[in-house]
Copies of this chain bind each other. A is one copy, B any other.
């Protein structure tokens, strides 16, 4: 691979690998070619391929098993690897996510701006509920502009039970990169109070997050509202 762009070789290799992933060349949990083979393919040395793969491993796009190979990582929601830690406990329990509903809505001013769409643009709204064993701890709302995912159908969203990440990967070849989460405390509205069986005005933790494609374009906005009570939320 010639050094054309004013860009390190290993960055170019990283992009080539991403492109190959997006074209479905290797499926989730499938092994990639060995570093040596990739080096031959891209016309670089094994060390350069390694550095590119290092980056993708750090981004959770790939994972490695020594002596075996390099694999395509599954697509996971950030909330799924988060924990609810009970007060006076060192380690918490993973959250379970369950699909609730999917509807088509129109973008408010604020949402339109986030997605760089016009006001009123059609959006998919997916709702899910968050549990730890034995208790409802939160609800989540996921929003994505219809215009950015033309092939997407409500049927598919339901089929995959609101796992938007995996859906976008499988149907649109889009891998999401998450921005940092943002946190707020807010008082439970009547709707939230009923859903989470708490009093109105009880304090709730709001976790919002924007996800983008590799180019930085905003794709998905998600808002989770959590009843923390005895628990702490550990991202």
A208 to B235, CA, bound (A): 12
CB-CB under 8 A from A113, the residues of chain B are 88
CB distance from A11 to the nearest CB of B (A): 16
**Does B185 lie within 8 Å of A186, measured CB to CB?**
yes
Interface: A117 (CB within 8 A): no
**Does B185 lie within 8 Å of A208, measured CB to CB?**
no
CB distance from A48 to the nearest CB of B (A): 13
CB-CB under 8 A from A203, the residues of chain B are 185-187, 203-204
Interface: A42 (CB within 8 A): no
B-facing residues in A152-184 (Cβ within 8 Å): 180-184
**Does B85 lie within 8 Å of A228, measured CB to CB?**
no
Known A88-B110, A110-B88; contact A184-B208, beta-carbon cutoff 8 A: no
**Across the two chains, which residue of chain B brings its CB closest to A92?**
B182
Interface: A60 (CB within 8 A): no
Count chain A residues whose beta carbon lies closer than 8 angstroms to a beta carbon of B. Answer: 27
A186 to B235, CA, bound (A): 18
Known A88-B110, A110-B88; contact A204-B185, beta-carbon cutoff 8 A: yes
B-facing residues in A14-41 (Cβ within 8 Å): none
Interface: A234 (CB within 8 A): yes
Interface: A233 (CB within 8 A): yes
Interface: A96 (CB within 8 A): no
Interface: A99 (CB within 8 A): no
Interface: A219 (CB within 8 A): no
**Across the two chains, which residue of chain B brings its CB closest to A204?**
B185
